[in-house]
Amino acid sequence: MADVFAALAYPIRRRILDLVSTKERAVGELVNAVRLTQPAVSKQLGVLREAGLVSVRVDGKKRLYRMDSAPLREVDAWLDRYRPMLEANLDALERHLDQKKRRA
């Protein structure tokens, strides 16, 4: 799971993941979308592949990438145990902000 968090830490990789989450995309399409060089996009795709977040399919001369959501489901399951605490903290923050608004 550490690989998934490390892969998601970089905004460009999150952008690439967003792009391949909706449909398969060729490297050239990703290069145009994120405005990086082909080697830079390929490097980021390698990190995403190592983390299991994307898979690749060869179609002739093209390599088509798509998202694999299994690692994200694993992260989501891990976060489940922390959701009650996070929700309680957010509820407390909301109450605090409401009180400040009423005093102003």
Mean pLDDT, 10 residues at a time, over the chain (104 residues)?
Answer: 92 96 96 95 96 95 94 92 89 92 86
CB 2 within 8 A of CB 35: no
Give CA–CA dist 54/71, Å, rounded.
Answer: 10
The pLDDT value given to residue 86 = 86
Predicted local confidence at residue 1, as pLDDT: 82
Q: Please report, for residues 2, 32, 34, the alpha-carbon distance to residue 40 in angstroms, rounded to integers and kept in the order given.
A: 22, 12, 10
The residue type of 40 is A
Q: For tokens 């830490």, what's the residue? A: 9
**Same domain as 73, residue 37:** no
> Same domain, yes or no, for 74 and 85?
yes
User: Are 40 and 1 found together in one domain?
Assistant: yes
* Range of the structural domain that residue 83 is part of: 69-104
Nearest in space to 19 (alpha carbons), one of 61, 54, 70, 50 = 54
Total structural domains within the chain: 2
